[in-house]
Amino acid sequence: MDPLVTCLLIPFAAAIACLFCWLAPALHRAIAVVAMIAYLAASIRLFLAVDAAGVIAVEIGNWPAPFGITLVADLTSAIMVVVTAIIGLAVTIYSLSDIDPTREKFGYYIFLNLMLMGVTGAFLTGDIFNMFVWFEVMLISSFVLMTLGGERPQMEGAIKYVVLNLISSAFFLSACGILYAQTGTLNLADLAIRTRELMQPELLTTTAMLFLVAFGLKAGIFPLFFWLPASYHTPPVAVSAIFAGLLTKVGVYALVRVFTLIFVGDTPFTHGLLLVLAGLTMVSGVLGAMAQFDFRRLLSFHIISQIGYMILGLALFTQWALAGTVFYLFHHIIVKTNLFLISGITRRYSGTFDLKKLGGFYPATP
């Protein structure tokens, strides 16, 4: 089977398998671990195929591009899938100890696998409308993971998370419709050609702003970041770790795709605006982190500042700046997920996320 399709089918099959054994949560655990190992192997296979052959694509149902659903992997997206698989496996193993039986009983591992499928689809799609579809798969699953357990802080964080992301989805869908009306296509490779031939560049720039709002909300850039530190510290540590590692980076990845492939006709304005927003995002995140004493809220504000670093490379729009953005994107996924998992270990040993109460932690538990 094509490695592009395999990477999507494995988490989907794991979710279905867990549904068939709904009353046996212990089986959910085994299925999830086995699926993540298989997913990691499939992602490495995909990376090796791309490394050997260059960009690879598959047309679903044999509908030719740009009319059908196309999956595409280049070196960047292949590495993103490998990193997603590593994080998925690490968080799944961590979840065996972190997630309580009640959440397992109500389908935690089902929605974890569906979310990973959505993330993978967003990285591998060759069509911007199907990117919207994969975003919705990812977000619906993340809504459930955010609220699973129904604790009051979770619900408060989830309301902000859901409302802002629904607004983002509305902007995304509207932008897709306007872009299709201008170009007659939503295939990313086709858009890269047709947008350079448009007679109304001002309308294209307006469409770019809609995409900037849509993806900026998902990525957490200034001034659209306020939902992130209000929600990421509320679910169990395993959930907040995978959210911190992957979800905002999908937004950054989407920004990189559209502002390097499609919206490059008015770079003094579009990328100049990105430059200003990147600087404000970096400063806002750092200032917010300085005022925090909750371990996970502090890390959440740091996510915001570090998103600014990534957007800065995109805004500068040079080869080395974009390389820095891509490299930091991979790096941040692994490191930020790890830091959230460490916060959970600290909580387990000390009983608190409050940094003011963690003095003497190392002498107490060397």
Please write the tens of the pLDDT for every residue from 240-279: 999 999 988 999 999 999 999 999 888 999 999 999 999 9
Comparing 83 with 226, which gets the higher pLDDT? Answer: 83
Look at residue 292 and tell me if it is in a domain.
yes
Q: At what angle do helices 201-219 and 267-290 cross, to 10 degrees?
A: 20
Average pLDDT over residues 204-218: 93
Query: What is the predicted pLDDT for the residue at 22?
Result: 85
Average pLDDT over residues 150-170: 82
223 pLDDT more than 90: no
Among 82-86, 202-206, 357-361, which stretch is predicted with the lowest mean pLDDT?
357-361
CB 47 within 8 A of CB 330: no
Average pLDDT over residues 61-67: 73
Among 141-145, 196-200, 267-271, which stretch is predicted with the lowest mean pLDDT?
196-200
Look at residue 334 and tell me if it is in a domain.
yes
CA 164/CA 71 separation, integer angstroms? 28
Look at residue 87 and tell me if it is in a domain.
yes
Average pLDDT over residues 155-177: 87
360 pLDDT more than 80: no
225 pLDDT more than 90: no
CA 308/CA 310 separation, integer angstroms? 5
* Structural tokens at position 12: 């989907």
Query: What is the predicted pLDDT for the residue at 197?
Result: 81
Residues 6+ apart with CB under 8 A from 173: 132
Query: What is the predicted pLDDT for the residue at 232?
Result: 83
Buried b (16+ CB within 10 A) or exposed e, 287-307: ebbeebebbbbbbbbbbbbbb
pTM as predicted: 0.93
CB 326 within 8 A of CB 256: yes
Helix ranges (H only) for 54-107 are: 75-98, 101-105
Task: Name residue 362's amino acid.
Answer: Y
Task: Name residue 45's amino acid.
Answer: R
157 pLDDT more than 80: no
CA angle 120, 121, 123 (to 5 degrees): 65
Look at residue 362 and tell me if it is in a domain.
no
* Structural tokens at position 185: 């296509």
CB 234 within 8 A of CB 154: yes
| Structural domain harbouring 204 | 3-354
CB 238 within 8 A of CB 344: yes
Q: At what angle do helices 267-290 and 295-316 cross, to 10 degrees?
A: 160
Q: What percent of the chain has pLDDT over 70?
A: 99
Average pLDDT over residues 164-174: 91
Whose tokens are 């598959």? That residue is 58
Query: What is the predicted pLDDT for the residue at 160?
Result: 81
99 sits in the region (left: phi over 0; alpha: psi -120 to 50; else beta) called beta
63 pLDDT more than 80: no
Mean pLDDT of the chain: 90
Q: What percent of the chain has pLDDT over 90?
A: 66
Whose tokens are 């867990």? That residue is 18
Look at residue 365 and tell me if it is in a domain.
no
Residues 6+ apart with CB under 8 A from 118: 134, 135, 136, 137, 138, 139, 141
Q: In the chain, how many domains are there?
A: 1
Among 120-134, 268-282, 348-362, which stretch is predicted with the lowest mean pLDDT?
348-362
Question: Model confidence at 216, in pLDDT bands (50, 70, 90)?
Answer: very high
CA 118/CA 11 separation, integer angstroms? 9
Comparing 86 with 201, which gets the higher pLDDT? Answer: 86
- Could you give the C-alpha distances from 69 to 131, 183, 308, in angstroms and in order? 10, 17, 32
CA angle 117, 11, 247 (to 5 degrees): 35
CA 45/CA 85 separation, integer angstroms? 12
CB 142 within 8 A of CB 218: no
Give the 3-state secondary structure of residue 1: coil
Query: What is the predicted pLDDT for the residue at 351?
Result: 84
